[in-house]
Amino acid sequence: EDQVTQSPEALRLQEGESSSLNCSYTVSGLRGLFWYRQDPGKGPEFLFTLYSAGEEKEKERLKATLTKKESFLHITAPKPEDSATYLCAVQASGGGADGLTFGKGTHLIIQP
Amino acid sequence: ETGVTQSPTHLIKTRGQQVTLRCSSQSGHNTVSWYQQALGQGPQFIFQYYREEENGRGNFPPRFSGLQFPNYSSELNVNALELDDSALYLCASSNNRAVNEKLFFGSGTQLSVL
């Protein structure tokens, strides 16, 4: 069974204080690892897809990296508008249309 | 370009009732999937529809069923509602049935079962 574990569950940072969110996964063949951002009362918003170990992607203050067992979402010099729940998900490379398996998320609060 | 829209935004039902939730996919998308998100949890995959047929399903009982229409809009039906069905139901569309590259999610329907 595919599993995704995210840590920490919650993180409070000061504006400008860089940190990293962790996503550990077990999957029977990885088709893709995804990062989404979810604001209160809204659906998840796509951030990144990573396909193979060693891959990195960046967008503004966010950088996602991937190893064979985990992914990190690095946040550099965050701003209050970066406050949200960050969700990690995996898709297995099965033959059918497999949905995403999500973790519980990391609730990030950036204080001014 | 219109995004994914869901209706209603909130719904209150009692145990044993039936409910239908609706979703309009993003323009040009032919694949729709539904997810259930309980409070404090990540979304959980219910099923996926491609060209009006179910082509993938998560670990949900048969009382969860769906439809996709020729215009790619979709419905989620839940029969014999249980208290544990209380959750945010999310619809997501994409343009590739096999690879869930960049799903576009709606804002969801918050279902409360009393």
Tokens for B63? 């009382």
Mean pLDDT of B52-70: 94
Distance from CA of B22 to the nearest CA of A (A): 15
Give the chain B residue nearest A97 (alpha carbons): B56
Q: What is the pLDDT of residue B55?
A: 86
Q: Is the CB of residue A18 less than 8 Å from the CB of residue A77?
A: yes
Q: Give the closest residue to A12 by CA, choosing from A64, A89, A80.
A: A80
> Which tens digits make up the pLDDT trace of B71-113?
889 999 999 999 999 999 999 998 866 555 789 999 999 999 9
Give the pLDDT confidence of A41-56 residue by residue, as tens digits: 999 999 999 999 999 9
Do A32 and B100 count as a contact with CB atoms less than 8 A apart?
yes
Q: Residue range A16-27: average pLDDT?
A: 97
**CA gap A110, A88 in Å, rounded:** 19
Q: Tell me the per-residue pLDDT of B8-50, one tens digit each, with 9 for 90 and over.
A: 999 999 999 999 999 999 888 889 999 999 999 999 999 999 8
pLDDT at res. B2? 67
**Of A91, A80, A109, A75, which is closest to residue A29 (Cα–Cα)?**
A91
The mean per-residue pLDDT over the stretch B59-67 comes to 96
Residue linked to tokens 């694949």? B31
Give Cα B3 distance to the centre of its chain: 15
- Residue B51: the pLDDT is 87
* pLDDT given for residue A65 in this prediction: 98
Q: Which of B45, B98, B105 sits opposite A43 (nearest CB)?
A: B105
Query: Which structure tokens are listed for A67?
Result: 């190893």
Interface of chain A toward chain B, CB-CB under 8 angstroms: 4, 31-32, 34, 36, 41-46, 49, 87, 89, 91, 96-105
Task: With beta carbons less than 8 A apart as the criterion, state whether A91 and A97 touch.
Answer: no
Mapping DSSP onto H, E and C, the string for B52-77 reads CEEEEECCCCCCEEEEECCCCCEEEE
Structure tokens at B50: 């491609």
Q: How far is CA B92 from CA A57, A60, B6, B8, in A?
A: 23, 25, 10, 15
Interchain pair B102, A46: CB under 8 A = yes
What is the pLDDT confidence band of residue A19, given thresholds at 50, 70 and 90? Answer: very high
- pLDDT band at residue B66 under the 50/70/90 scheme: very high
